[in-house]
A and B are shown apart, each in its own frame.
Chain A
Amino acid sequence: MNRIAHSPHAHAPISISKVMVTVMVALIPATLFGFWLYGWPSINLWAVSLIASIGGEALVVSWQGRTVRPVLMDGSGILTAWLLALSLPPFAPWWIAVLGSLFAVVICKQVFGGLGQNVFNPAMAARVMLLISFPLEMTTWISPVPLGSAHAPSLMESLRITFQSHPIDGMASASLLGHVKTEFTRGIGLDQSLVGYYAPWHSLAGDRAGSLGETAAVLLLLGGLYLIARRIITWHAPVAMLLGVAIPALLFNLINSNHYAGPLYHLLSGGVMLGAFFIVTDPVTSPNTTAGQLIFGFGCGLLTWIIRTWGGYPEGVAFAVMLMNAATPIIDYYVKPRIYGRDRKGVALPVGKES
């Protein structure tokens, strides 16, 4: 009672853990779909990621002499590991998940000073680290093997796949983006390479080879809309990112449709949907202002398209996000809201001027 408290003496019913839990709820449909599509190995991978993140964070926080419980309870470490797991090849071995999770929460977050202090999105930085260090494991995709289907690995088989790197026979497949890139190097254009490989409807439904949780475009979109409706994120960065991908794709597709794929192809493949609604909306590593978020999102989309089209890697979301993360402080420096009674430069409006 006698502790001095400052106004306001009321608070919106919101907290960090509520924010994190809401994002996790939004991820559930796409995650469950991924589990179904790729079966037990994907569930193992997801679980290993989360456990490694929780254990790793608990360990480093206790080394720092801080109380572990509140750090773990805010849910940010779990969310990071969850997002990372969704961006991994579903049959990847356990140590990929462990390394990635530890790198994300320890190196990318706690080393920078913990929650809110990291410059780069931990999940994307970890994915980039894994992709550069372990290109084979990170590009071994498999065709969908839904739970209950003939080729689906059983629980015991899945444990061998995840923990003993059991070879995956007859299920390996290229991702759409990877396939197109490989065909290009052989001089084969889109009009041939896409035949039998790409149907927009399949991509929309998520029935394709890809990372654990990034294939179900519709479910990710639903999750994103839920977050917008709950006012956890705003539409600005996601829409800007989708436009950043779609606009150059459309322009170049009109110029040469055999060499440049159309907007739908780009929007529905790879990690664009996951990135647009769950990665570029990461509050910590994105700009503060609405205008800044539009620039940031558009930059992420544009860089993704550039890397996909002209870069060495078939997919570019993670690289694009990291590059724009690095640009966030400078965007925040230049893009600021206008203050009441002042112009955009911060100079007071003229006194005594009648309009």
Chain B
Amino acid sequence: MKLFKLRGGVHPESRKELAADRAIRVLPMPEYLYVPLLQHVGAPAQPNVNVGDKVLKGQLIGASQGVISAPVHAPTSGHIVAVGDYPAAHPSGLTAPTITIKADGEDRWLDTEAVSDPFVLSPDQISARVAAAGIVGLGGATFPSAVKLNLSRKNNVHTLIINGGECEPYITCDDRLMRERAAEIVEGVRLIRYAVGAEVVMVGIEDNKPAALAAMTLAAKNTEVKVIAVPAMYPMGWDKQMIKALTGREVPADGRTADIGVLVHNVATAFAVRDAVRFGRPLVSRLVTVSGGSVIEPANLEVPIGTLVENLFQFCGGFRNKPARMVLGGPMMGIQLASAAVPIVKGSSGVLALTDSEIGNVQPSPCIRCSSCVRACPVGLLPLDMAAHIRAGDSSAAVTLGLKDCVACGCCSFVCPSHIPLVHYFNFAKGELMEQERVKLKQESTKKLAEMRNERIARIERERVEAAAKRKAAREARERAAKEAAAKVVTETA
């Protein structure tokens, strides 16, 4: 099949060999699980359990609320020991609302409603089961999957693309999933296709994963699913890049993929959809790659949601040397972990412990305008100019240059010979813009409130004056009447 040409991109050292040949292993159930209520894009789930409650594996512990939200479920059986704040996976170590479960060691499932042939379900039922299972985009975007399914059906999506790009260095969990559970993935893909009514189904897999390609091709044989090798290049796993490569079309800047009739899901999401639809099982675990130069025995682990990152490192034999940096996710877009005592969430594809030489940490020097960043940018931006404006405190000039189109993929920072943290500048400016937006909204609402207050005061004043006038008129009328009566009396007496 003909692939379409892409702009920019980089070829970082893949380092996937550290973990690629290590088969999936199940992490032993830890004693405590810390399940955050916000593991997705949208509104956080609302806890519906209390401290002391006994829960079964797969039981709902946080209900979805709002249009864009997802529920969370107990990853094992046990009882609730805390509902409150716990450090989240964030560079600052900030806390987030979290439900803590003490495992009872039985790992007993809730009775779930399995179906022998999921294709007899209606598309609405499939969507409902996906929503109830709390499935979100497992490639890292963590957008609630059911919302995407419903949106796609409304928009008459004709093409379903399954993203098996996995372009982040080190990360191999999707690779292993495709090698070991290809048939299940393909069934999940076919269920999604059926649910949205797409005509074309393509699975894009980077050509640096020949075993995954072979396994998926075999599993997809005699189905409507087409498995396609795409060139290994970062950021091939960016959904819009994958769409461009496979269909030649671009998602409009202010639109969604559904606007051009395309729905993109990750391979791991498709696997989770199959579990949810066929067995009624919610998303309570995921595959996580543990890798990096400091890890003694890199691995691909099936991990219950809410497991602490440190448990994963311990299971992998600990560190061969003190890691220079711990990262949640891949090295290109992952976040730095201030501590390993934070829980794995639905969007965590990997945890890395990197050495000094791996992170290439060098003090930045001045920009020489070499435009390596311009060539590397998959979006077509001018990172050097944007950063220069932001540095000078002029974020709005950076917006004019397309700051809002930046996807923070990190290609520009990666290639910069001056080691300028370009993406950091952009995210800083995006934060600043958000702040400005908030201030503006606040000012507007303050202004509105002030206007309403003035109006209210004026109305009260007006009413007071009117009432006084009325009272005065009544009094005068009374006085007049009294006078007239007095005059009458006088006349009568006279």
Residues of A within 8 A of B (CB): 1-2, 4-16, 18-19, 70, 74, 76, 114-117, 234, 283-284, 286-290, 332, 336-342, 346, 348-352, 354-355
**Residue in A10, A14, A288, A289 whose beta carbon sits within 8 Å of that of B12 in the complex:** A10
Which residues of B in the span 321-350 have a Cβ within 8 Å of any Cβ on A? 324-325, 327, 331-336, 338
Q: Name the residue of chain B whose CB is nearest to the CB of A234.
A: B375
Q: Which residue of chain A lies nearest to B412 when distances are taken between CB atoms in the complex? A: A8
Given contacts A9-B336, A349-B255, 10 further A-B contacts (CB under 8 A): A4-B336, A10-B13, A18-B417, A19-B370, A288-B385, A289-B374, A341-B252, A341-B253, A341-B254, A341-B405
* B198 CB, min distance to chain A CBs, angstroms: 14
| A339-B331 in contact given A16-B418, A114-B366, A283-B368 (Cβ < 8 Å) | no
Complex interface: chain B residues within 8 A of A12 (CB): 10, 12, 360, 414-415
Q: Which of B236-276 contact A (CB under 8 A)?
A: 240, 244, 249-255, 259-261
Contacts of B260 in A (CB 8 A): 354
**Contact in complex: A8, B368 (CB < 8 Å):** no
B419 contacts chain A at the CB level, 8 A cutoff: yes
Chain B residues with Cβ below 8 Å from A11 are: 359-362, 413-414, 419
Q: For residue A346, give the distance in angstroms from its CB to the closest CB of chain B.
A: 7
| CB<8 Å pairs between A and B, sample of 19 | A4-B92, A5-B91, A6-B427, A9-B358, A10-B13, A10-B332, A11-B362, A12-B10, A16-B418, A18-B417, A115-B366, A339-B381, A339-B402, A340-B378, A341-B252, A341-B255, A349-B250, A349-B252, A352-B259
Bound form: Cα–Cα A346–B418 in Å: 29
**Cβ-defined contact, A116 with B369, below 8 A:** yes
- Cα distance A1–B334 when bound, in Å? 16
Q: Which among A10, A18, A117 has the highest number of chain B CB atoms within 10 Å?
A: A10
In Å, the complex CA distance between A9 and B335 comes to 9
Instruction: Write out the residue numbers on chain A whose beta carbons fall within 8 Å of the beta carbon of B382.
Output: 288-289, 336-337
Instruction: Report if A6-B421 is in contact (Cβ < 8 Å); known contacts: A116-B367, A284-B369, A336-B382.
Output: yes
Is the beta-carbon distance between A9 and B325 smaller than 8 angstroms?
A: yes
CA distance in complex: A349, B260 (Å): 11
Considering only CB atoms and an 8 Å cut-off, how many residues of chain B contact the other chain?
69
Q: Which residues of A contact B244 (CB under 8 A)?
A: 340
Are B379 and A116 in contact (CB-based, < 8 A)?
Answer: no
Establish whether residues A7 and B334, one from each chain, have CB atoms under 8 Å apart when the complex forms: yes
Whether the pair A348, B254 counts as a contact (CB closer than 8 A) is: yes
Contact with A along B390-426 (1 / 0, CB 8 A): 0000000000011001001010011101110101100
User: In the bound complex, do residue B405 and residue A340 qualify as a contact, i.e. CB atoms below 8 Å apart?
Assistant: yes
Which B166-196 residues have C-beta < 8 A from chain A? Answer: 169
Within the complex, what minimum Cβ distance (angstroms) separates B311 from chain A? Answer: 20
Which residue of the partner chain B has the closest CB to A328? B369
Q: Is B384 an interface residue (CB 8 A)?
A: yes
Cα distance A351–B408 in the bound complex, in angstroms: 23
Residues from chain B with Cβ under 8 Å of A283 in the complex = 368-371
Whether B252 pairs with A9 at a CB distance below 8 angstroms is no
Q: Is the interface of A mostly helix, strand, loop or mixed?
A: loop
Q: Tell me whether B162 is interfacial, beta carbon within 8 Å.
A: no
Measured CB to CB, the residues of B under 8 A from A are 7, 10, 12-13, 91-92, 169, 240, 244, 249-255, 259-261, 324-325, 327, 331-336, 338, 352, 354, 358-362, 365-372, 374-375, 377-382, 384-385, 401-402, 405, 408, 410, 413-415, 417-419, 421, 423-424, 427
- Which of A2, A116, A234, A348 sits near B368, CB closer than 8 Å? A116
Task: Kindly list chain B residues whose C-beta atoms are within 8 Å of the C-beta of A336.
Answer: 382, 401
Known: A339-B381, A340-B380, A341-B250. A74 touches B352 (CB 8 A): no
- SS class of chain B's interface: helix, strand, loop or mixed? loop
Minimum CB–CB distance for A25 against chain B, Å: 16
Query: Contact at B423–A351, with CB atoms within 8 Å?
Result: no
Q: Are A14 and B379 in touch, CB under 8 angstroms?
A: no
Shortest Cβ distance from A15 into chain B, in angstroms?
6
Smallest Cβ distance from A294 to chain B, in angstroms? Answer: 13
Docked-complex contact A10 and B255, CB < 8 angstroms: no
Query: Which residues of A are found within 8 Å of B361, using beta-carbon distances?
Result: 5, 11
Is the Cβ of A15 less than 8 Å from the Cβ of B362?
yes
- A19–B371 alpha-carbon span in the complex (Å): 13
Choice from B325, B360, B402 contacting A13 with Cβ under 8 Å: B360
Q: Which residues of B contact A10 (CB under 8 A)?
A: 12-13, 169, 331-332, 358-360, 414
Cα A2 to Cα B358 in complex, Å, equals 17
State the Cβ distance, B390 to closest chain A Cβ, in Å: 13
The reply to whether A8 and B332 form a contact with Cβ atoms under 8 Å apart is yes
The minimal Cβ–Cβ distance linking A157 to chain B, given in whole angstroms, is: 41
A127 to B408, CA, bound (A): 43
Query: Across the interface, do A16 and B417 meet the contact criterion of CB distance under 8 Å?
Result: yes
Indicate if the CB atoms of A341 and B251 lie closer than 8 Å: yes
Bound: A340/B7 CA distance, A = 9
Q: Is the CB of B253 within 8 A of A7?
A: no
**Known contacts A116-B369, A341-B240; is-contact A8 B252 (Cβ 8 Å):** no
Partner among B91, B380, B385 whose Cβ is within 8 Å of the Cβ of A4: B91
| Closest Cβ–Cβ distance, residue B233 to chain A (whole Å) | 14
Once bound together, how far apart are the Cα atoms of A4 and B107, in whole Å? 38
What is the CA–CA distance of A284 and B384 in the complex, to the nearest angstrom? 12
Q: How far is the CB of B245 from chain A (nearest CB, A)?
A: 12
The answer for the CA separation of A74 and B366 in the assembled complex, in Å, is 10
- Shortest C-beta distance, A231 to chain B (Å), equals 9
In the complex, the answer to whether A349 meets B253 with C-beta atoms within 8 Å is: yes
With a CB–CB cut-off of 8 A, which chain A residues contact B414? 8, 10-12
Q: Which 7 A-B pairs have the closest CB atoms?
A: A11-B360, A8-B410, A341-B253, A348-B253, A283-B370, A6-B424, A337-B380
Task: Give Cα A1 to B371, complex, Å.
Answer: 31
Chain A minimum-CB-distance residue to B10:
A12
Q: Of A16, A18, A337, A354, which is within 8 A of B374 by CB?
A: A337
When chains A and B are docked, how far (Å) is the Cα of A80 from the Cα of B29? 63
A2 partner residues in chain B, CB cutoff 8 A: 338
